[in-house]
Amino acid sequence: MVDGKLVAFEPILSTVVPVNLQEGTCWDLVKNLLAEVQQARKIPIVNAFPPLGPWDARICSISGHDLPARQALRQLLDQIAARSGGSPGARFLWTLVHDPNDNAYFFSTQTVPGPVEPASAPEKPQPKPQTPATGSKLFNLGPTPAVKKN
């Protein structure tokens, strides 16, 4: 709602960006992608992470034409995760959080490890069945004592 009226809302990363084929460092492509979204939506987006590790010098590419920013970002993050040498199946997750005090969006990512294959559990030996002679004394009462009748 704006000024008491409902207005249409489009998620920030649904913004269509004009991508044909871009190639460059992963960091530069992410920065450029966010800059295109900022320009199209007239909002500030702050990168809340430094260009370290797999971001700094690796070459990535985005392909497609007029993609939603979310799809272009996913292409980049999938490439970065595949090349980062982490656990197989690792992925990058992102957050884009709005700060109403600064009227800005903060973008950050984190690595999530891939699924872990469970190790095969060693077979447990089956317990030996108990016989009445070796069973619990509670249930092994022995012969019933004779009852005297008067």
For residue 51, the model assigns a pLDDT of: 56
Nearest Cα neighbor of 51 from 20, 24, 86, 21 is: 24
Question: Mean pLDDT, to the nearest integer, of 29-47?
Answer: 90
In the chain the domains, ranked by start, together with CATH numbers, are 16-112 (3.55.50)
Specify the range with the lowest mean pLDDT, choosing from 49-53, 91-95, 122-126. Answer: 49-53
Q: Which amino acid is at 107?
A: F
The model's confidence at residue 39, banded by pLDDT at 50, 70 and 90, is very high
| Residue whose token pair is 């489009």 | 10
Composition of the chain by helix, strand, coil, percent to 5: 25, 25, 50
0.75 surpassed by pTM: no
Residue 28 near residue 83, CB atoms below 8 Å: no
Helix/strand number for the chain, H first, E second: 2, 7
Q: How far is CA 86 from CA 33, 111, 119, in A?
A: 25, 9, 19
